[in-house]
Amino acid sequence: AQSVAQPEDQVNVAEGNPLTVKCTYSVSGNPYLFWYVQYPNRGLQFLLKYITGDNLVKGSYGFEAEFNKSQTSFHLKKPSALVSDSALYFCAVREDPGGSYIPTFGRGTSLIVHP
Amino acid sequence: EAQVTQNPRYLITVTGKKLTVTCSQNMNHEYMSWYRQDPGLGLRQIYYSMNVEVTDKGDVPEGYKVSRKEKRNFPLILESPSPNQTSLYFCASSLRGTGSYEQYFGPGTRLTVT
């Protein structure tokens, strides 16, 4: 069975500082990992994904994520936060091989970037 | 423009009155799905479809029906809505249903059942 956890309901960071939004996962096989962002009154937008290969994945809007197999983590990062990055962030996992057709989403982390 | 559309965006209804939320995508995606989003619970999948005429239950299918008669459309049907179905609903699609394909989400439908 697959599962994903986002241990922080909310992350606060000052504009210009680096940000990290945490995600840990559990799968029996290999994971496909995703980050999505939800701005107020909008649907989720895909940010980036890890399939295989380089552990550092780069995505949209300057975000990146680091896959750590030993710690079963896939934390989202950005070197310098913007106020416009304030949104709800979701981590999701799918299992490979023979993975579920149903991706599992975390509960979401609210990122607040203060001016 | 590649997109997933949902209608209506907002709906207030009464218990027991059948309703349908439409979903359409213009990307020729095989896989479509419905989620509900509730505070503290994240996104939970209701139903999904791997292709035309192929649908299956997600994690929380009770009280919902779906159909996939055309590739682009995947309506969500609540035959007898109840207040516990008050939620924010999202339709999503992806090229394939397996593996590494990311999903594209619609703008959401906020449903209130009184």
A44-97 pLDDT tens trace: 999 999 988 889 999 999 999 999 999 999 999 999 999 999 999 999 998 876
What is the reported pLDDT for B100?
78
A&B contacts, CB < 8 Å: 59
Residue B1 in this model has a pLDDT that exceeds 90: no
Nearest CA in chain B to A50: B100
Residue A100 in this model has a pLDDT that exceeds 80: no
What is the reported pLDDT for A97?
64
- The residues of B whose Cβ lies within 8 A of any Cβ of A are 4, 31, 35, 40-45, 48, 50, 56, 58-59, 90, 92, 97-100, 102-108
Position B82: which residue type? S
- Name A105's bridge partners: A92
From residue A35, alpha-carbon distances to A22, A95, B105 in Å are: 11, 15, 13
What are the structure tokens assigned to B49, written together? 């479809």
**Strand pairing report for A10-14 and A109-114:** parallel
From residue B100, alpha-carbon distances to A30, A31, B91, B96 in Å are: 11, 9, 19, 9
Position B5: which residue type? T
What are the structure tokens assigned to A24, written together? 């840990």
Task: Show residues of chain A in contact with B4, CB under 8 Å.
Answer: 43
What are the structure tokens assigned to B36, written together? 């509900």
Task: Show residues of chain A in contact with B97, CB under 8 Å.
Answer: 101
Query: What are the phi and psi torsion angles at B2 (to 5°)?
Result: -70, 130
CA–CA min distance B98, chain A (Å): 6
Which of A23, A32, A41, A101 to mutate to probe the B interface, most B CBs <10 Å? A101
What is the reported pLDDT for A48?
96
Q: Which of A83, A96, A84, A77 is nearest to A25 (CA)?
A: A96
Mean pLDDT of B83-97: 93
What is the reported pLDDT for A98?
58
What are the structure tokens assigned to B54, written together? 């192929």
Between A12 and A97, the higher pLDDT residue: A12
Mean pLDDT of B17-21: 97
